[in-house]
Amino acid sequence: MTANWPDNHPKIAYGKIGVLLVNLGTPDGTDYKSMRRYLKEFLSDQRVIEVPKWKWWPILNGIILQTRPQKSGKIYDQVWNHEKNEGPLLTITRSQSEKLAERLAQKSFGREVVVDFAMRYGNPSIKSRVEALQDKGCERLLVLPLYPQYAAATTATVNDKVFDVLKEMRWQPALRTLPPYYDDPAYIEAMAISMKKAVESLDFEPEIILASYHGIPKRYFENGDPYHCHCMKTSRLIREKLGWQNDYLKTTFQSLFGREEWIKPYTDATVTELAESGVKRMAIVNPGFSADCLETLEEIDGENREIFMEHGGEQFAHIRCLNDSDEGMDMLETLTLNELNGWV
C-alpha cells in the first residue's frame, strides 16, 4: 500500500495485520534469580491465585519465593534446552510461529500478515511483541491464546494482559482474540491423527490411555469456570473420532498446587490405582497443552512414569503434544484463517 504524505508528516508503517501466538511462559534460566522472577510474576497473577492479596502476599514473598525457585530450577533443568539455553515451551512456540508465518506467506491476502509470539509470563513479553507488531505497521491484531479449553487462569489472563497493553497505547490496533477451540473440528482432527499415529508407533498396545489436563481448584469450577466441561467434551469428541470405548480413554487432572481440593480425578492417584489394579501397559496424552513443557515432559513422562512402574506397571508411553507437527500446524493455520475472515 502507498500513501501521499504531507511533507511534514512523520513516516510510519501501516496496512498490515499482526498475528500473535501466546503461551503460558518460561523462566529466562534455571538459576535462582531467573526462577524467582518468573514465579513471582506467575504467582502474583490474581487470575491464577484467587486469594485476597493481603492474605496471599505474605505467603508468596515470605515462604514460597524463598524456597521454591531453587527446587523448581532443578526440575526445569531436567527438561531445559541446553543447546539454546531456553525452556522447551519457548523453543516449540517459536517454531510454531515461524512455521505459521511460512504458511501464511504463501497465501494471497492483499495485505501482509506478520506472525509473532509472546509469553504471558517471562519473555518475550506480550507488551514487547504487541508494540513490535505495531511498529511494523500492524493496524489489526489477532491474538491466539494457545489454550484449547477456556480457563480464567489461562485464556482470560492472556486477554487481560493484551487489553492492559492497549490501554496504554494512543493509537490502538483493531483487536480480535481466538475463542477456546476445545471442540473445533480442526483441533479434534489434529488430536485424533496425532494420537493414532503415536499409539500405532508403540511396540506395545496400551490397555488404557489417560487424557491428562492441567487441573484447577474445585472452587474455580464452582464459581463458574467452564474449564472442566471443556476438557470432558474434548475427551469425548476425541474418543468418538477414534471409535474408542469410554473406558479406554479416561480424563484426569494434574499439576495440583496448594492444599485446597482441585477438580478430580487426579492423574497421579489414577495412575497408582490402575497400576495396583493390574494394568501393565498405559499411555498418557495431554490434550490441553499446545506444546510440551515442564508439566508434560517432567511431570507426566517423568514422575507419572515412575509412579506407574513402582506400583506394578510394565510399559508406559507419553504421547507428545501437537507441538509444531504437521497436524498441529494444519490446525493452527485453520484456526488463524477462520479468525482472519473479513480482514483478509
Element (H, E) at 283: strand 281-285
Do residues 228 and 272 both lie within one domain? yes
Asked, for residue 332, whether it belongs to a domain, the answer is yes
The answer to the question of residue 9 being in a domain is no
* 177 class by beta-carbon count within 10 Å (0-12 exposed, 13-18 middle, 19+ buried): middle
Averaged over 280-292, what is the pLDDT?
Answer: 98
- pLDDT tens-digit series, residues 159-192: 999 999 999 999 999 999 999 999 999 999 999 9
In this predicted structure, what is the pLDDT of residue 109? 83
Choice among 9-23, 66-80, 187-201 with the minimum mean pLDDT: 9-23
User: Same domain, yes or no, for 177 and 43?
Assistant: yes
The three cell numbers of residue 225 are: 469456570
How confident is residue 240, by pLDDT bands cut at 50, 70 and 90? very high
pLDDT of residue 338 exceeding 80: yes
Contacts of 285 (CB under 8 A, 6+ apart): 191, 195, 198, 209, 210, 211, 212, 318, 319
Residue type, 108: S
CA distance 183 to 241: 12
Residue 1 in this model has a pLDDT that exceeds 90: no
Selection from 99, 206, 230, 95 nearest residue 155 by Cα: 230
Does residue 213 share a domain with residue 127? no
| Other beta carbons less than 10 A from residue 4's beta carbon | 5
| Domain match, 22 and 165 both | yes
Could you give the residue ranges of the DSSP H alpha helices within the chain?
Answer: 32-43, 53-59, 65-79, 88-105, 126-135, 157-167, 185-201, 218-222, 227-242, 267-276, 294-297, 305-310, 326-340
Look up residue 45 and give its DSSP letter: -
* Cα separation, 209 vs 211, whole angstroms: 7
pLDDT at 151 over 80: yes
61 and 145: one domain?
Answer: yes
Grid cell, residue 266, equals 487426579
Per the domain annotation, does 1 fall within a domain? Answer: no
Place 121 in a pLDDT band, splitting at 50, 70 and 90. very high
Q: What are the pLDDT digits (tens) for 14-37?
A: 889 999 999 999 999 999 999 999
The boundaries of the domain holding residue 135 are 16-181+328-340
Cis peptide before 173 (omega within 30 of 0): no
* 285, part of any domain: yes
Same domain, 309 and 334: no
**Do 176 and 190 fall into the same domain?**
no
Instruction: Say if residue 159 is in the same domain as residue 256.
Output: no
205 belongs to a structural domain: yes
Q: State whether 94 and 26 are in the same domain.
A: yes
When divided into structural domains, the chain yields a total of 2
Q: Is the pLDDT of residue 3 over 70?
A: no
Same domain, yes or no, for 28 and 176? yes
Q: Is the full-model pTM beyond 0.85?
A: yes
Q: Tell me, what CATH number does 47's domain have?
A: 3.40.50.1400
Tell whether the model's pLDDT for residue 4 goes beyond 70.
no
pLDDT higher than 80, residue 132: yes
Q: What percent of the chain has pLDDT over 90?
A: 93
What percentage of the chain reaches a pLDDT higher than 70?
A: 98
Instruction: Measure the CA–CA gap between 75 and 301, rounded to whole angstroms.
Output: 13
**8 located within any domain:** no
Q: Is a pLDDT exceeding 70 seen at residue 210?
A: yes
The string of pLDDT tens digits covering residues 248-276 is: 999 999 999 888 999 999 999 999 999 99
305 lies in the same domain as 235: yes
pLDDT for residue 111? 87
Does any domain span residue 299? Answer: yes
Residues 162 and 197 in one domain: no
DSSP letter at 206?
-
Q: Give me the amino acid identity at 67.
A: T
Question: Across the chain, what does the average pLDDT equal?
Answer: 96
